Structure 1
Amino acid sequence: MREPKLAFSPDLVKLVAEIDEFKGRWEALKMLSPDRLSALRKVATIESIASSTRIEGARLSDAEVESLLSRAISVRSFRTRDEQEVAGYAEAMDLVFEAYADMRLTENHVRQLHQTLLRHSDKDERHRGSYKTLSSNVVALDAEGREIGVVFETTSPFDTPREMEDLVAWTRKALDEGPLHPLLIIAVFIVTFLAIHPFQDGNGRLSRVLTTLLLLRAGYAYVPYASLERAIEDNKDLYYKALRRTQTTLKSETPDWDPWVGFFLRCLKKQKDGLAARLDRERTVQDSEARLPELSLLVLEALRTKERLTIAQLTSITGANRNTLKVRLRELVADGRVHQHGKARATWYSL
């Protein structure tokens, strides 16, 4: 792989500086209680899984993804391909979050993550973790789903192993030794990876898993708490346009990196801006909770742990008088901190 010649506008340089400033402040910014940070991470993870699979055509909402993942803990059966893709993406992300410090960018790790990503996809069983053996050009389809032309010609199956070896070697060397900023290296890796299209299926989803891996390894520790995939989904048309504008120039003497790098950095900015706003809201809530009665705090803590509880269950957990507990619950419901579901004996509560 040739060394990219990157020269960026002042706006892109400013974006990199702004993202790095947030990265440097993260330890100070995340001064929330562990349970609130955990809740923030859970929301971001669900958003990431839902958005990344929807970008590729899945149709599950955030709520459906959350329900599926809570069910999938004990039941490893999935009714549709959408559910299979969601479960696989969740497991790949879990693997990255748990092992990123030891998961250096290698072809073996790329194939391992692909295998995990497609673990539950029945139709992908034969090629999980293996480079493609058939052409996988990006094509345009008509309203009936028939192919009407090639939009972008990806790397041939024959050349894929060599190009992947070159790309991984360049990326590792650039991250370890190169003068380029890590965010620019990651952007170049992703757009080139997608141009190679090394696997028969799952390349788009895998590219976003690999983005998370590389960002975490580069020290962007806030990534699990805000969804980059959501920022991309919200700008899906621009995502594909930026990819194509850069990819169609990659084989020229002077590739045009700006369209993709600009889009990538703007999505990273939206990711960190969204997290900063959520942290502000969380700190406001945390400060207001500090003034609540002790029993109210016990109720909130119990609901963060169990997610849904009845009055009987809350009475058992808190050891409080039932009538006093009802008063505190009414206050929390009126204040918008707790939701009441059902009526009479069927009543239960959630955050």
Structure 2
Amino acid sequence: MHKYTYEFLKDKTITSDLFSLSNIITDLKSKTDERKDANKSLFSKLETIAIKESVEGSNAIEGIFTTEQRVKEIIENNSEPLTHNEEEIAGYHDAIKFVKENYEHLSFDEETIKRIHAILVSRHIGYDKGGQYKTSDNVIAEKNKDGTIKRVIFVPTKANETEKAMSDLCLAYQVYRDDYDIPALLLIPCVIVDFLSIHPFSDGNGRVSRLLMLLLLYKEGYDIGKYISFENQINKYKSNYYDVLERSQNHWHESKNTYYPFIEFTFQILYQCYKEMNRRFIVTKSGKNKKNERIEAIVLDSIVPISKADIQELLPDVSVTTIEAVLAKLIKENKIYKIGTFKNAKYLKIK
């Protein structure tokens, strides 16, 4: 039986690379928070966009789709779902709104987890298992096109052991969350791996796990998921997501699994969210007309190192020659510095 212990997270020598990435994310969080305070209107618009992208992204990971128009009608006009897929989409919208609006008052406990699940499946006509743990065993499997099982990926906790497992998981999180030697950013992905390994519900575990991820990140002050869809970024790397989860679940029942693949993936997704936030911010805020002014605004507004290729992508009408000239000028004026050499070089504003 799996033991819910996260003592290994205190071994900073093993996780030095992850601590380094954690520090980068913390720095980006601080810079993004400063922008948020000074650009409330822009961040409000990004919040609206992120809700839609999260609803689409989290459901897309599970193969749940509908048309763009129907997603818009469900989210913006509270249109009644017309299909089973739309019930799933509407339920996720209800659940993510609940988490976003109430996270400060929610705890990581069984009551909250069951409530999130109940909201998630509340639009399912005829489904009466919302907020109830599974009553029969389940498996995580890769399936053939005809629905038959091709390969069993993981066998979760048995149904008759689920209640105790969830109680142990929630207690372990509270204990280790209060341990100042363990950074919350390292703990959260481990808890999500364990939740998915228990697989406590008969349906909706993947989507609940992503809502719990957002909840725990929000409570630690990492609210980037409000403005850039965390789920949408995961969907972009869907195959990698399933791969690292499988690797982190290997030998889970014997408590011999390694959480590091999933921790690293989570950190990379967080980093991608902050990078995308940076990209959207500088594109929106760059209201200059002259090409050289637009390049300067993009480079000086960026909170992550930016390459010539990045600038070209943001300003497709500007030549490489012009970009290089402006970068050289900014370096000469001691406004930016160069990281790396040749084609891989990136640039960042001097503080």
Using the TM superposition, give the Cα deviation of residue 26 of structure 1 relative to its aligned residue in structure 2, in angstroms. Answer: 2.8
**Regions of 4+ moved over 6 Å:** none
Distance 1:189 1:80 in 2: 33
What amino acid is the match of 1:103? Answer: L
Distance 2:162 2:255 in 1: 21
Q: Who is 2:343 aligned against?
A: none
Q: Who is 2:35 aligned against?
A: 29
1:16 and 2:16 matched: no
TM-align CA RMSD:
1.8
Using the TM superposition, give the Cα deviation of residue 179 of structure 1 relative to its aligned residue in structure 2, in angstroms. Answer: 1.8
**Range moving further from structure 2, 136-145 or 157-166:** 136-145
Deviations 1:292-333 (A, max 9, x none): xxxxxxxxxxxxxxxxxxxxxxxxxxxxxxxxxxxxxxxxxx
Using the TM superposition, give the Cα deviation of residue 221 of structure 1 relative to its aligned residue in structure 2, in angstroms. Answer: 3.0
Distance 1:154 1:120 in 2: 26
- CA spacing shift, 1:32–1:81, aligned 2, 3 Å: farther
- Matched-pair contact (CA < 8 Å) for 1:50–1:61: no
Report sequence identity in percent: 29
- Matched-pair contact (CA < 8 Å) for 1:84–1:121: yes
Q: Which of the residues 273, 276, 291 maps onto 1:274? A: 276
Using the TM superposition, give the Cα deviation of residue 111 of structure 1 relative to its aligned residue in structure 2, in angstroms. Answer: 0.3
- CA spacing shift, 1:35–1:29, aligned 2, 3 Å: closer
Q: Who is 2:97 aligned against?
A: 94
Q: How does 1:321-340 map to 2 (within 5 A)?
A: none
What amino acid is the match of 1:274? Answer: E
- Matched-pair contact (CA < 8 Å) for 1:249–1:255: yes
Using the TM superposition, give the Cα deviation of residue 63 of structure 1 relative to its aligned residue in structure 2, in angstroms. Answer: 4.9
Q: How does 1:162-173 map to 2 (within 5 A)?
A: 162-173=164-175
Larger radius of gyration: 1
Q: Who is 1:191 aligned against?
A: 193
Using the TM superposition, give the Cα deviation of residue 178 of structure 1 relative to its aligned residue in structure 2, in angstroms. Answer: 4.5
Deviations 1:23-81 (A, max 9, x none): 22233122454332211111111111100011111123555422321231xx4x21111
Q: How does 1:115-264 map to 2 (within 5 A)?
A: 115-123=118-126, 125-264=127-266
What is the aligned residue count?
A: 283
Distance 1:174 1:9 in 2: 17
1:47 and 2:53 matched: yes
Task: Give the TM-score normalised by the residue count of structure 1.
Answer: 0.76
Distance 2:229 2:155 in 1: 30
Q: Who is 2:319 aligned against?
A: none
1:106 and 2:109 matched: yes
Q: How does 1:299-338 map to 2 (within 5 A)?
A: none
- What secondary structure sits across from 1:127 in the alignment? coil
Task: Give the TM-score normalised by the residue count of structure 2.
Answer: 0.76
Q: Structure 1, unaligned stretches of length 5 or more? A: 289-351
- Matched-pair contact (CA < 8 Å) for 1:160–1:196: yes
- What secondary structure sits across from 1:120 in the alignment? coil
